[in-house]
Amino acid sequence: MLTPDDFRRLALSLPEATESEHFHTPDFRVRGRIFATLWPGHGRGVVALTREQQEMLCDAEPAMFARIKGAMGAKGWTDVILAEADEITALSALTMAWRSRAPKRLVAAIDGAASATPPRP
């Protein structure tokens, strides 16, 4: 089970992630683009996924993930049910959302830096 503070901490652990808000709701952005929102009073976070990612997560973990209703859900926006979520899976979903919204050059730079790091003995 994740708390809203856990979701916030995980979102902000991603490169260049910042917290802001829209419509009085906390959101998480990378270079100005929203990749996740938090609805603490509703016990859920929302992540911006591709449709394929959304389908995969909702099929694999239907208690944890649900397509949000309406046009935004059809574009990949997906609920993360905090009471059902674990840190590893939520961080994975947040990372997918971050990667889908971050500028391609930033993603490439992060990927390049990760591959340039020598493995630990």
Q: What confidence tens digit (pLDDT) does each residue in 60-76 have?
A: 999 999 999 999 999 99
Q: Evaluate whether residue 111 is within a structural domain.
A: no
Asked if the structure places residue 109 within a domain, the reply is: no
What CA–CA distance (Å, rounded) separates 100 from 61?
A: 20
> How much is the average pLDDT of 43-55?
97
In a domain, 121, yes or no: no
Q: Is residue 18 situated within a structural domain? A: yes
In a domain, 69, yes or no: yes
**CATH code, 64:** 3.90.1150.30
**Integer Cα distance of 115 and 100 in angstroms:** 20
Give the three-state DSSP class for 49.
coil
pLDDT > 70? residue 81 = yes
Q: Give the range among 2-6, 8-12, 49-53, 116-120 with minimum mean pLDDT.
A: 116-120
Residue among 15, 96, 22 nearest 55 (CA)? 96
Q: Which residue has the tokens 């808000």?
A: 21
Full residue range of the structural domain in which residue 35 is found: 4-104
- Answer whether residue 21 is part of any domain: yes
Rounded Cα–Cα distance for residues 54 and 93 (Å) = 9
Arithmetic mean of pLDDT, 81-92:
97
**3-class state of residue 81 by DSSP:** strand
Examine residue 12 and state whether it is found in any structural domain, yes or no: yes
pLDDT at 111: 85
Taking the C-alpha atoms of residue 102 and residue 106, their distance in angstroms, rounded to an integer, is 7
Count structural domains, the chain: 1
- Does residue 119 lie within any of the structural domains? no
Q: What is the pTM of this model?
A: 0.90
Q: Which pLDDT value is given to residue 119?
A: 56
